Every structure is written in structure tokens, then in C-alpha cells.
């Protein structure tokens, strides 16, 4: 469980009633207050950066270096599917976004050459391919569902959403169902959830993220990393009060 030193919780917090949006729901206001009790300076709070943001942003920077669009396309043209999969898995492995059993299922799925090819081509299509976001997301779900399965299933919400979140945090958000559903309930948002990854649920999640971002605009969230971190604080037992 996360704790914050008492000295960090001074009266000079940016959690002022004057700053809360007057039309925000009581749930939204409650969630805002909880976030600011842990991080009085909001998304610029040093503890917040240390606990929640910096390691996710570092993974994004590593992705841009190793699997940015040009590098990704070049590796695909050379047929380096195994290398693409290895880089993606390695970048994710340095975060705590996936559970250990999900990391293992993913590694097993991309180990065979055919699994690596499916993963590499499918991920490039999701991130950079033709078509609107809905169709690209649906095709990506189909790809993950077709990956070789050794024991644990690969088609889960965290696996489906983690790479979009790391690669394009301006657009995509990471989805841990239990924590995020708790956050939605606390916030007062009717999240349209289905356990099998689908566009219907993901677009509902993106709508939820947009509502939260609008409600917190005075705190200047930078991207989906900040929004996902805010939701994590609401739903994770790490932040029980």
C-alpha cells in the first residue's frame, strides 16, 4: 500500500475547491481529492513522477528508439520478425504493466517463427496501418487471438493494450480490467465492459479517459500515461486509504 510522508501533505496543495469543475460529479470530485492527497502537486508531483510516470515514459522513449515507425518498417522489410518481437517484449518486460503470467504467455506466443511473424505484422498494422482506429484495433485483437498458446491465454485486455500504450501514449491507453472498472465505478462512469477484448469496450474506455482528461484539464495531464495513472490510483489496492 502506498503511503506519503505527512510533510508532503501541506496546506499548499492544488486541491482547492475553487479549482474543481463545478459541474463535475461527486464521484469525480472524490477521485480528484484522493489523487491529490497522494500527489499534492498533481501530475508534476515528484513522488508521482517517481512512482507512476517516469518508468512508463522511459519505456515509450525506448520504443521510439528501437521500434519507431522507420525502424519497425525496416525490420519488417528485412523479415526480422523475431527481432521485432524480442524488442517489443524486452521493452515491456522492464515495466510492471503486465502480470508475470501474462509476460510468460506473451513470450511463449512469439517464440515460434510463425508467432513472431503474426505479432510483428499485426502490431505494425495496429500502430501504423491503413484504416480507422476501430478497424485497426479489431484486426489487432484478431491477431493476438491467433497467436500460438502454450498454457495461459494470450488474448487478454492487458496484452492487447500494453503496446499501443507504450508506443503511442497520446492515443492509446492501457487497460487493467479490475482496477479500471473499480475506478469507473468510483468516478461514476458507466464503462461498457466485456471480458473479451473488443472495440465496443475499448471505445468506452477511451471515452472515459476523455471525460477524466477534460475534468482534470487544470492539472494539465500530458497524455494517456497521466490518465491511466490517475485511474490506477482510484482502483488499485496499492492506494488504499
CB 159 within 8 A of CB 149: no
CA–CA distance, 207 with 57 (Å, rounded to integer)? 22
Output the pLDDT for position 126.
98
CA–CA distance, 222 with 227 (Å, rounded to integer)? 8
DSSP 67-127: HSHHHHHHHHHTT-HHHHHHHHHHHHHTSSSS-HHHHHHHHHHHSSHHHHHHHHHHHHHHH
CB 97 within 8 A of CB 174: yes
Burial of 221 per CB tally in 10 Å (0-12, 13-18, 19+): buried
Output the pLDDT for position 25.
81
Output the pLDDT for position 21.
44
Q: What are the residue ranges in the chain where pLDDT is below 70?
A: 1-24
Output the pLDDT for position 16.
45
Q: How far is CA 8 from CA 2, 4, 5, 233, in A?
A: 13, 7, 5, 17
Output the pLDDT for position 4.
55
66: cell is 528501437
Output the pLDDT for position 2.
67
Amino acid at each position: 500500500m502506498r503511503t506519503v510522508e505527512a510533510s508532503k501533505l501541506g496546506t499548499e496543495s492544488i486541491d482547492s475547491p475553487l479549482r474543481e469543475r463545478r459541474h463535475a460529479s461527486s464521484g469525480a470530485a472524490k477521485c480528484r481529492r484522493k489523487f491529490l492527497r497522494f500527489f499534492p502537486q498533481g501530475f508534476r508531483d515528484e513522488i508521482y513522477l517517481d512512482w507512476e510516470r517516469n518508468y512508463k515514459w522511459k519505456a515509450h522513449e525506448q520504443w521510439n528508439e528501437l521500434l519507431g515507425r522507420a525502424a519497425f518498417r525496416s525490420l519488417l522489410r528485412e523479415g526480422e520478425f523475431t527481432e521485432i518481437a524480442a524488442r517489443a517484449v524486452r521493452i515491456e518486460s522492464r515495466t510492471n504493466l503486465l502480470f508475470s503470467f501474462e509476460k510468460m504467455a506473451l513470450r511463449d506466443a512469439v517464440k515460434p517463427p510463425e508467432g513472431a511473424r503474426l505479432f510483428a505484422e499485426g502490431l505494425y498494422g495496429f500502430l501504423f496501418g491503413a484504416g480507422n482506429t476501430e478497424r485497426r484495433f479489431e484486426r489487432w485483437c484478431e491477431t493476438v487471438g491467433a497467436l500460438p498458446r502454450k498454457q495461459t491465454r494470450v488474448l487478454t485486455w492487458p496484452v492487447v493494450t500494453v503496446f499501443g500504450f507504450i508506443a503511442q501514449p497520446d492515443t492509446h491507453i492501457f487497460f487493467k480490467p479490475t482496477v479500471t472498472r473499480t475506478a469507473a465505478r468510483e468516478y461514476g462512469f458507466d464503462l461498457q465492459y466485456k471480458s473479451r477484448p473488443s472495440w465496443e469496450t475499448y471505445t468506452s474506455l477511451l471515452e472515459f479517459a476523455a471525460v477524466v482528461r477534460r475534468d482534470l484539464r487544470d492539472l494539465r495531464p500530458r497524455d494517456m500515461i497521466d490518465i491511466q495513472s490517475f485511474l490506477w490510483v482510484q482502483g488499485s489496492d496499492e492506494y488504499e486509504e
